[in-house]
Structure 1
Amino acid sequence: MTMNVLKNLDFSKAPLIYKDKERNQENRNTESGLSNFRPITLSDRDILNSYLLENPYGICDFSFGNIYIWQHKYNTRYTLHKGFLILRAGEEGEHSYLMPLGKGNLKEVMEDLFDLEGDALRFSSITPHMEEELRDIMPDGFKVVNPDDFCDYIYLSENMITLKGKKFNGKRNHINKFMSLYGDKYEYTEINDSLIEECKEMNRKWCLERDCRKSQTDYCETMRALDNYKEIGLKGGVLKVEDEVVAFTLGQKNNDNTFNVLIEKALGHIEGAYPMINKEFAAQETSDFIYINREEDMGEEGLKKAKLSYRPHLLLMKGMGVFQ
């Protein structure tokens, strides 16, 4: 299928302790308004998901897992206001918001945010769908600025499961190579508690392969996800060769149509491990969904090339919404 492109869609700061032990007994399922933005805890999952899973946009930003594991890097906070979930990132004076999610008077909520932030009000990850909605209610002065190539990569789950057709010849060849090398030595299994420490050890090896202490990676966020995978609500798959974990992936439901792959890692010296874990996980976890969101490329050319090689069904462009 022809790719559709829609125009408008530190390591050092990561926590040293990955297991979230915070259990706030306060009733957080109450509206607190724009004066009380809260950190995200695991006990907030159900209330946030009551909004997030209803989102019609399908962007990776609305995955509870992403919000939770990256909140320390982006200083993500949330509040409930007039029937809407409002997510905010950034430090004081440099806030950016995601599209409010909920049912009610969106225009009134937007006006409240404008009263709070003034001309500094800005929104991140604004898709074409969101832009249309916001222009309808705030026609004057609203503009979406599009960073080059800032998008989510959206795939048809059927394509990722079957890899049919000439366009996937390369992927099938990599898998065939994997099978020729490890066909009687590999095992794919759903992630479980007994595999967490092995996955964390593989994450350390993956980090060493990339010398990741000298570059920005998701090493710490991956550890946080593994330590809390059940509480976050993640599904996972693990690929073993000769009883050693060589690849794993983690993801979760984004909405009724879309499954979100948050993390996918494989050891570089195991030929074909990436396409193998990709196909196995898609077959096991995504057959009930139309789309798979494999998230952004973070501006990395290698990651961009890898994502494009799977022939995305859609590049869901995302821009920054500002007022001028």
Structure 2
Amino acid sequence: MRNIQTENKTMENVTTEILENDFTTLQVMDWPMVQEYLQRCKYEESNHNIINMIMWLQTYPLFYYKREEYLLLLGIHEGCFFMYMPLCEKQYIAEAIKKGKEIFDHYGHDFTLSCFTKEMVDEVIKLYPEYTAIHESWADDYVYDGERLRTYAGKKMQKKRNHLNAFYKDFEGRWSYETLDETNIDDCIGYLKDWKSEDPDDFLQSERIGTFRILDLYDELPCKGGLIRIDGKVRAFAIGSMLSDRMCQENIEKADGDVRGLYQCIMKEMLSHEFPDIELVNREDDTGRENLRAAKLSYHPVNIIEKYRIKKGVES
């Protein structure tokens, strides 16, 4: 995710001719169409996930160009357009990238690509060797072994296991887990209304707005989640969705930070109940925040998916 204050102003002073003629503004109601194209490619990268897209649509508007073979997604960063990885089967990747460049060139925009994985960078460089890929480490995804997060087994997870066991001991007989559904969604919304509502952090407040949207649309969207109650009140909830046949993405995780072990508990319980057989879990990026980076590393990822921005004639 990019800088919120910058992104909130992205539509100012942007030449919109490309949007008026070739790209269409993506609306929430378009999600089934986008999901159909996402299932063709099954990227294991967090920005190419329909729940992520809908959650951040107000902050990061998206635009699409649709062909039967592929879907191109356009974003805006610091007043300039960029293209995401094309949504298509592998055989159409080159054709889709070429079409994107053709459209950018037609309107006089620098052809810029973002949120590209290393594998997809190679596809672009094969077509345009004069282009350069810049690693954007703040956007890298952290990927974890699913079974490790469902059990906290092993020496590496000892500290997390200690926090979890402390929670079980402190709240024995007082806590419960529930799968998120129409019977308790309103309780989660009520909890979110109070969760960090006074925090001045723009990023966090934008995240809250997006989370409200996902909760409002929960019954319609391809996601699953769960909540934890303590003494009958919601104190944590989490929501995830599928990225590929082997990987899920944890899109949302909210908990009371002053309750020891609660974050460990909601992650373990949600994954155990809603994604019991998933091999890998993508817990998204750290946004360049050192405290978030340290927290994600403390769970010992098995892989970090590097992200790249691609432009012509720049140094990496």
Give the percent of matched residue pairs that are identical in Structure 1 and Structure 2.
Answer: 27
Compute the TM-score of the two structures, normalised by the length of structure 2. Answer: 0.86
Q: Contact (CA 8 Å) 2:182, 2:219: kept in 1 or not?
A: no
What's the counterpart of residue 199 of structure 2? 212
Q: Contact (CA 8 Å) 1:153, 1:307: kept in 2 or not?
A: yes
Q: Contact (CA 8 Å) 1:75, 1:91: kept in 2 or not?
A: no
Matches within 5 A, 1:53-132: 53-81=39-67, 83-90=69-76, 94-103=80-89, 104-118=91-105, 120-132=110-122
How far, CA to CA, are the matches of 1:123 and 1:287 in structure 2? 35
Q: Contact (CA 8 Å) 2:255, 2:262: kept in 1 or not?
A: yes
Relative contact order, higher structure (CA 8 A, sep 6+): 1
In the superposition, relative to structure 1, how do residues 299 and 293 fare at CA in structure 2: closer, same or farther (>3 Å)? same
RMSD across aligned C-alpha pairs, in angstroms? 2.3
Letter in 2 for 1:113: G
Compute the TM-score of the two structures, normalised by the length of structure 1. Answer: 0.84
Structure 2 stretches lacking a partner, 5+ long: 9-18
Misfit runs of 4+, over 4 Å: 10-14
Aligned to 2:149, the other structure's residue is in SS state helix
CA shift at 1:313, angstroms? 0.6
Matches within 5 A, 1:1-324: 35-42=22-29, 44-81=30-67, 83-90=69-76, 94-103=80-89, 104-118=91-105, 120-136=110-126, 138-208=127-197, 211-217=198-204, 218-324=207-313
Aligned to 2:103, the other structure's residue is in SS state helix
Deviations 1:57-100, CA, capped at 9 Å, x for gaps: 30011111111121111111222125111111117961111110
Q: Contact (CA 8 Å) 1:126, 1:144: kept in 2 or not?
A: no
Structure 1 stretches lacking a partner, 5+ long: 1-9, 15-31
| Count of matched residue pairs | 294
Q: Contact (CA 8 Å) 1:81, 1:109: kept in 2 or not?
A: no
How far, CA to CA, are the matches of 2:79 and 2:214 in structure 1? 30
Deviations 1:8-50, CA, capped at 9 Å, x for gaps: xx59999xxxxxxxxxxxxxxxxx99713232323x2322112
How far, CA to CA, are the matches of 1:41 and 1:150 in structure 2? 24
CA shift at 1:147, angstroms? 2.2
Aligned to 2:125, the other structure's residue is in SS state helix
Letter in 1 for 2:188: C
Letter in 2 for 1:276: C
